[in-house]
Amino acid sequence: MTIAFNLAGRRALVTGSANGIGLATAELLARSGAQVAMNDLSFTALDEAVTRMRADGLVVHAVPGDLGRAESATLVASGALAVLGGLDFLVNNAGAPFTREPIPAANLDAMTDDFWDRILKVNLMSAFWMVRALAPALRASRGAVVNTVSTAAFGGGGSSIAYATAKTGLAGLTRELARGLAPDVRVNGIAPGYVNSAWECSFGDVESAARATVPLARVGQPAEYAEVIAYLCEGARYVTGEVIVVSGGARL
């Protein structure tokens, strides 16, 4: 059962929203009455998602762009403001592992400078660039920011040392932005565990792994993560600077 939200009149930008958690979040916000700008690097997948959602009567806009570059992130931010006319919610969901399979922590040679640079820009710096560009609009609306972190930020490695480090940095950035934008803007995050989505990095049979290690004994669905993001956007009025672990109890 999906939680119902009344977001009529709200304006949101969701990055990395052509699939997975980002797509589920954009769809939930739009179905709840919000006008949503959707960003992704994949123009084709983004256009397909926007076309499908518009056919359902939802008010969504495509704002494609590479958030791994500061200048491009600024253009995405300005494009979103142009189509929305302001902003209430910013969901920094864009992220990528840049590897098809997990890189063992002992394989330091795989952690090249170029790999680090790409990981940090997309998974950490992009969130800062977006907030910096959109802070005036968010302050004006007394809005909210939600960052998609990862349980890798709290140990366990994830897809690589670089990815886990970037997500740890994003958790820290969430806290510092909450201090910097208070009291006008709340800034929180979620830390997903296993997700049923087309993630670039394969962790093998995650269904079996979840049944064996997660107390709720299953993989999380994108819509379940989207519910928590939507709550942190519209509800949770006395919560800021927090990263909510959403993992089916995997870290118990």
Q: Which residues are catalytic?
A: 163
User: Any bridge partners for residue 187, and if so which?
Assistant: 145
CB 70 within 8 A of CB 43: no
* 153 token code pair: 């930020």
Kindly state the greatest CA–CA separation across the chain. Answer: 51
Instruction: Report d(CA 218, CA 207) in Å as an integer.
Output: 6
CA-based nearest residue to 41, from 19, 11, 12:
19
Q: Which residues of 122-147 are buried (b: 16+ CB within 10 A; e: fewer)?
A: bbbbbbbbbbebbbebbeebebbbbb
The answer for residues whose C-beta is within 8 angstroms of residue 167's C-beta and 6 or more apart is 95, 123, 124, 149, 150, 152, 153, 158, 191
